[in-house]
Structure 1
């Protein structure tokens, strides 16, 4: 029997501690809600209905906060990361929480510090995250505080490392600073995240829809967005809701 790989190594599944970094004091963000991991598609237990029409409601899944040691290269990176932030007078409280899960490390950051943290990741010689490879969104549903997450994947081509930053947002105040000025690759990805989730990237040079028509109402990947019954104008037809669709099997 082979030993399990360590966190940070390929195909690893990192251990999760019960407690970890949390924000304290005025303006502290709501904690990320954890729960049972969803069962998906093939091999599903119980019902396979994920449309919401069957009344299936599972807790949102997110890894629990981690505490030192993280394992692998994560601890060395965290030391260098916090040192670089301190050098630029970015408070340690800008990092609200850290998680380690499935061999990946995620830093939850306060949105007002996101641009400065991104510049630090890019410009510091010990970090050198030259590429922002992905900007995306997640909606954890109405039962989760700060249900909208803006998710950023950074890659260091020099040191062959990948990390993730996340910013948690309220639906009523879904604003986060744009990173286009620091990472031009964020341009269309921020537009798509706005289009699908309604997250507003303040300072973006042209935050318009990129997938849906300009006059489209709503953001299709929100959990509260209707899943069917939307008229298809060019065919004069209608997409039926999931509980009314025919089965062809």
Structure 2
């Protein structure tokens, strides 16, 4: 199945734009963020693939390489197949005000809404065109992104000591 998907995506978006990630336990297709939304729409709407369910979005921090990756786990319930999409997000600097950006897929799969908010909240990845991108687990005034490898734990929050001695 992965060969058919890969050939179709490469024909649609260009051989250089879509690649198979070798050595993974699950079929993984790497796409540039510029094609993410169109690739996802095609995978959801194509009658031979029909990836109708987005199970998860995971953000990965490759510090000190100054890059992030987003991993999208898709499933086709009728065909009982799974596929992983990966998007690489290089960073020029890791300042918490300089957030890597990727387009939202929440218009394609409603489950993306919460997964994207979690990646934004904990890793600081900004999803353009997201309908309600705000923190989901941490307070609105929390500083930083706790799942980044270079995150420094706060000593206190609103005068409450949170770091043990």
TM-score with structure 2 setting the length = 0.87
Larger radius of gyration: 1
Q: Secondary structure at the match of 1:167?
A: strand
Q: Which residue of 1 aligns with 2:7?
A: 82
Maintained 8 Å contact 2:6/2:18: no
Q: Could you give the per-residue CA deviations for residues 205-235 of structure 1, whole angstroms, max 9, x where no partner exists? A: 1111101111111111000101x4521447x
| CA distance in 1 between partners of 2:81 and 2:145 (Å) | 33
Q: Which runs of 5+ in 1 are unaligned?
A: 1-75
1:218 to 101, 126, 144: 144
Structure in which a larger fraction of residues adopt helix: 2
Maintained 8 Å contact 2:52/2:77: yes
Q: Which residue of 2 aligns with 1:186?
A: 112
CA RMSD of aligned residues (A): 1.9
Matches within 5 A, 1:1-249: 76-83=1-8, 86=11, 89-102=12-25, 104-142=26-64, 144=65, 146-172=66-92, 174-226=100-152, 228-233=153-158, 236-240=160-164
Q: Which runs of 5+ in 2 are unaligned?
A: 93-98
| CA distance in 2 between partners of 1:84 and 1:165 (Å) | 12
Maintained 8 Å contact 1:133/1:185: yes
The CA deviation at 1:97 is 4.4
The CA deviation at 1:115 is 0.5
Q: Which residue of 2 aligns with 1:11?
A: none
| CA distance in 1 between partners of 2:41 and 2:151 (Å) | 35
| CA distance in 2 between partners of 1:219 and 1:188 (Å) | 17
